[in-house]
Chain A
Amino acid sequence: MKALVTGAARGVGLATARRLANDGARVALLDRDPLVEEVAAALDPRSAAIVADLADDRAAVTGLGEATAAMGGLDALVNCAGIGGPTTPVAETEVADLRRVLDVNLIAPFALCAAAVEPMRAGEGPASIVNISSVLGVRGEPNGAPYCVSKAGLRMLTEVLALELAPTGIRVNAIAPGAIETDMHFDHLREIAAADGTTFDEELARVRAGIPIGRHGTPDDVAATVAWLTSADAGYVTGQTILVDGGGMDR
């Protein structure tokens, strides 16, 4: 398998790149942080590193072209890169901030999905796309509409693209992670703590209390589901969003 993983310098993207590489895939790691070059070199000598800022959809597509060329094909695209965005009520949210979130979380994955179709169709084996959405793209919460909207949009993109590509055999699925131990989640909790006059530890405990499994998820938990979705074992699964949330949505 030849897989492009975005947002691969850290967090879920890095865990995904590592898991796919460990499972035998050749991986291209894309991130705006130049650190990704070191990360890729340490991960697997066969891997490729691409520095590109997904705030620019043309840079994203150029990056996909470089990844495809470096690997000699493309049969998996994992859109992990994402940003958190403002934690303000809609009435106080600047449209410019909304655009900034949509650019990275929705427009870039859209452009990457679009650009992936041709190389995937040209490949010999089965191909698939996995978009990392969020439980916040399934069920909203106050103060963070840009993020919620972007992740809900990514789910619908997943469904529409899955239907369009089903006859070609290219499968498209999404994952909706809950609270995962990443810098992004921890930064979000720090912001809430600052706004509510609580502590980070209190926010961490509050989130954990809402998770039936009783712990935060790890980037490896999400990566394991990506690995399954891109495998032949998921050959009849397309257009789905799989919750990786420790049961948090069932409460």
Chain B
Amino acid sequence: MSGRFEGRGAIVTGGESGIGLATAERLRAEGAAVAILDRASSDDPVDLAEAAATSAAVERACGRLGVPCDLLVNAAGVHRVQPLDSVSTEDWDAVLRINAAAPLWVSQAFHRCLDSAAAAIVNVSSIGADRVAKTDPAAHYRASKAALNALTREMAVEWAPRVRVNAVSPGPIETPMLPLARMSGKDREEAERTFDEMIPMGRVGRVEDVASAICFLLSDDASYLTGVNLPVDGGITAC
């Protein structure tokens, strides 16, 4: 694999699992030094719900990479299936905090530490920001991803031209976060059938599909792309 990110430092939040992990692996394979910000991280665990601790962790990560840290992937996120009537203030705050506020805190700290002429950020959003399914009630999740989309555009314009900021919006991806991952037996078969019928390409996406899109947006090949939200969804948003 070509070393598109040779000599570059990257921070990946949520890099211990799912899309974040696949992205960290791909970045490393292409030459980047990668620091993971994750509550499950073995060397420097951090709770992204805590603003001050998160900022400090970003600063430590920038310091220990050994190369200029000019790539950031905000991949950490939480998803809860919850009908509107049961969403408490605490639920709302918890989801919005991790999915929308933490990317801001992390990006602010990254921007403060930035010592390169050019940098790139990718936020992992979701096609769920713009689409609703009655079988998958998640008002706080959708609102948080819609907020993240607005944040992406805001950062793209405010921090231009030095920092490019884009988003990917995955559709259903085989991750621990997909409700499918917690199902078994008949429920799982039925859910799989629903997914396959819903997805024009007829398959649930792989984390590598999203990681490759993130790495494209981080790469110099995307040097004229900023403020873009790229769905990686097997065609769902085309219908």
Which residues of A are interface residues toward B (Cβ below 8 A)?
158-160, 162-163, 166-167, 169, 212-215, 217-218, 221-222, 224-225, 227-228, 233-240, 242-247, 249-251
Please pick, from B206, B230, B239, the residue contacting A163 in the complex, using a CB distance under 8 A.
B239
Asked if B29 is at the interface of the complex by the 8 Å CB criterion, the answer is no
Q: Which of A159, A218, A233, A247 contacts B226 (CB 8 A)?
A: A247
Q: Do the beta carbons of A239 and B216 come within 8 Å of each other? A: no
Known: A166-B234, A239-B238, A247-B156. 7 other contacts (CB 8 A): A169-B201, A212-B160, A213-B164, A233-B213, A236-B205, A237-B233, A246-B224
Q: Are B157 and A212 in contact (CB under 8 A)?
A: yes
Please tell me if B25 contacts chain A, counting CB pairs below 8 Å: no
Count, A-B residue pairs, CB within 8 A: 111
B83 is an interface residue with CB less than 8 A from chain A: no
- Output the nearest chain A residue to B169 by Cβ-Cβ distance: A240
> A176's closest neighbor in chain B, by CB?
B228
Instruction: Indicate if the CB atoms of B206 and A212 lie closer than 8 Å.
Output: no
Asked whether A163 lies within 8 Å of B235 as measured between CB atoms, the reply is yes
Chain B 74-92, CB-CB to A under 8 Å as 1, else 0, gives: 0000000000000000000
Interface class of chain A by DSSP: mixed
A167-B202, A212-B157, A239-B200 known; A250-B231 Cβ under 8 A? no
Contacts of A251 in B (CB 8 A): 157
B224: A residues at CB distance < 8 A:
213, 217-218, 221-222, 244-246
Q: Is B41 an interface residue (CB 8 A)?
A: no
- As a 0/1 sequence over residues 131 to 169 of chain B, the CB contacts with chain A under 8 angstroms (1 = contact) are 000000000000000000000010011001100100000
Which B residues are CB-close (under 8 A) to A169? 201
Residues in B whose Cβ lies below 8 Å from that of A213: 160-161, 164, 224, 226
Please report the C-alpha to C-alpha distance between residue A242 and residue B237 in the assembled complex, in whole angstroms. 13
Within the complex, the shortest CB–CB distance from A155 to chain B, in Å, comes to 10
Contacts of A243 in B (CB 8 A): 225, 227-228
Partner pick for A240 among B157, B210, B237, CB 8 A cutoff: B237
Q: How far is the CA of A218 from the CA of B228 in the complex (A)?
A: 17
25 A–B pairs (Cβ distance < 8 Å), ordered by A: A160-B238, A163-B200, A163-B239, A166-B234, A167-B202, A212-B156, A212-B160, A213-B161, A214-B161, A221-B223, A224-B222, A225-B222, A225-B225, A227-B221, A236-B201, A237-B233, A238-B200, A238-B238, A239-B239, A240-B237, A240-B238, A243-B225, A243-B227, A244-B224, A250-B156
